[in-house]
Every structure is written in structure tokens, then in C-alpha cells.
Amino acid sequence: MALSGRSRHAASYKFGFLKSILDNLYEVDENLTLSFDQLFGKFAEIYWNLILKYHLRQSPDNVEGNTTYLEQTLLEAKSKYMIPEDTPYESLTYQIALDINSKVKSRCKNNVVGALFGDTQELFYSFDKKSEWLRINPQMYTFVCKHKLVIEKLNYFEWAKYLEKVNSSRSSDHLLTKIDESTLRSNLNRYRKILEDEFESHNCFYCGRKLNAQNTHVDHFIPWSFIKSDDIWNFVLSCNTCNIKKNDKLAEHYYLKELLNRNSKYDILRFASNYSPKKLEDAYDWAKSNGYSTVWRPA
């Protein structure tokens, strides 16, 4: 397995690609398929932050002192667009990020996808480089969803051990935090208007309180720390009090039924082509099985 310390690693990219898959688990279509654009968009984000924000090398220095293709690609983009030092990926414009993602995919897909495929005994997924898709084995998908946080932590642990070997002690401080924060939640303000206008959300989803410009938050119904993606089918508008108190907890099952009803009432597929009620129900149950057992309800 890629998360095993016994695997051979010329660079850290199998760890990063596994994180890309885990962060996209709830973006799969009905055939459990992800596009290379989805996967390498996340992959580019992870390594932009690790390499250019946190200045972490991802492979040992070789005799010539050359950097890897991925590091070269990111450094070239930084120079091309005159991006200031330590700029996080989430601050890049859409067009710049799109260009970077495309170049990362082009340079990395030939080796990275097959490397993790081999390390997982060819059981985790199948893929097609020409058509640029990856399909997760159904049994493996269920297993990984049920044990997502454990697998994620094991991957982080082995990844951090590897990075310690190829980086100075100073740059490798707080490695687990840096890896976890290589993908950060985006600014959710753009979803607020969609929820207000398209879903007629003008009251707190949880307590029913009337919302205004000062007390409206966009909340991940299933916590972002578990699902690690921004999906309109998982967003609700909440007052600041409920959002702060709910924090990283699951709302009680009654609110799951309410969200399922809301998503069925409005044309959710306009904004989330891969949504299904079962996906939301399964994600809720998988979060519970991953330790999100503290059920929250408004006072």
C-alpha cells in the first residue's frame, strides 16, 4: 500500500495522489468514476501549498540537484504569473489555477496514477490514461468510506515520515498539520446567494431564526473535516449561533431528513450533477462510523 513505509518512494506523490482520491470520495458519479481533472486539480492544490507555501521538498536531492517535474511545473507557473512568495493556492485566480492544474495533469498522470495502482495490488481502482478517468472498485469504495479517517491518518503518518527524511528539521516542523492544511476550505460566500435565491433559504436551517446580512453562515451539514469537499447538496444556511455551536459535529437525524426533502424539492442537479439522496445518506452514516458520534441539536 502507498501508506506503508515498506513501499518504494522516489518522491512523495503516491501519498499525495491517495489524498486526492480521499478528498474526492464524494465527487464520484454513479459508476464511482472520477476524472483526471478532478483528481489532479486537488493534487495541484496539495503540492502548490506544500512546495511553494511551506517550502517542503518532495524528493531527495539527486547528484545534479534537479527538481522533479512537478516542482518545476509549479515554479514555472509562479514565475510566469509573477505570484508573490508564499501565496496559498486558494488565493489564485480561476484561470491561473486552471492552467496550473492542466500542466500538472499532463506532466504527472503517466507515472502517478499507475504507481499507486501498483502499490494497492491493482485492487483499489481501474483507470484509462487516454480517456482520463479513474474508477474505484465498489468493494474498496465502501471500505475506504467506512474507514476514511483511519486511512487518511495512516497516509499522513507515513507521508510525514518520508518528508522528514528529505527536508531539514526546520522546514519539517508541524508536518502533519501542513499536510492536512494543504487543502483548505474555500470561501463559501459565493454559495450564499445560490442558497438564498435558488433554495429560498431565508431562515436558519437548524433553529428557524430569521437570517440577515450580519448573522448568516454557510454551513457544511456533514462536517468539512470529514467530507473535504464543497457541495451544494451538503450546504445549508445557518445563523451564527447554530453554526458556531454545531462546529464539527453531525446534526441529529431529523435534519438529515429535512435536507433530503429540501434537495428533492429544488433542482439540485443544476448545481450538483453527481448528487443522489443515497450519497447524502451514506455520507452521513459513514461520518458516524468514522467517529462523528456526537449528535448536535439546537438548544
Please report the domains of the chain, with CATH numbers, ordered by start residue.
13-180 (no CATH), 189-296 (1.10.30)
The model's confidence at residue 297, banded by pLDDT at 50, 70 and 90, is very high
Residue 208 to residue 204: CA distance in whole angstroms: 5
pLDDT at 199: 87
Average pLDDT over residues 47-59: 90
pLDDT at 63: 38
- Give how far the C-alpha of residue 190 lies from the chain's centroid of Cα atoms, to the nearest Å: 18
At residue 9, does pLDDT exceed 70? no
Contact 44, 89 (CB under 8 A): yes
At residue 2, does pLDDT exceed 90? no
Residue 101 to residue 110: CA distance in whole angstroms: 15
What Cα–Cα distance (Å) separates residue 128 from each residue in 90, 131, 196?
A: 29, 6, 40
pLDDT at 57: 87
At residue 120, does pLDDT exceed 60? yes
Which residue would you say has higher pLDDT here, 97 or 10?
97
pLDDT at 3: 53
Average pLDDT over residues 169-187: 79
CA dihedral 94, 100, 105, 107 (to 10 degrees): 170
Average pLDDT over residues 153-162: 93
Average pLDDT over residues 172-179: 83
Contact 7, 119 (CB under 8 A): yes
At residue 64, does pLDDT exceed 50? no
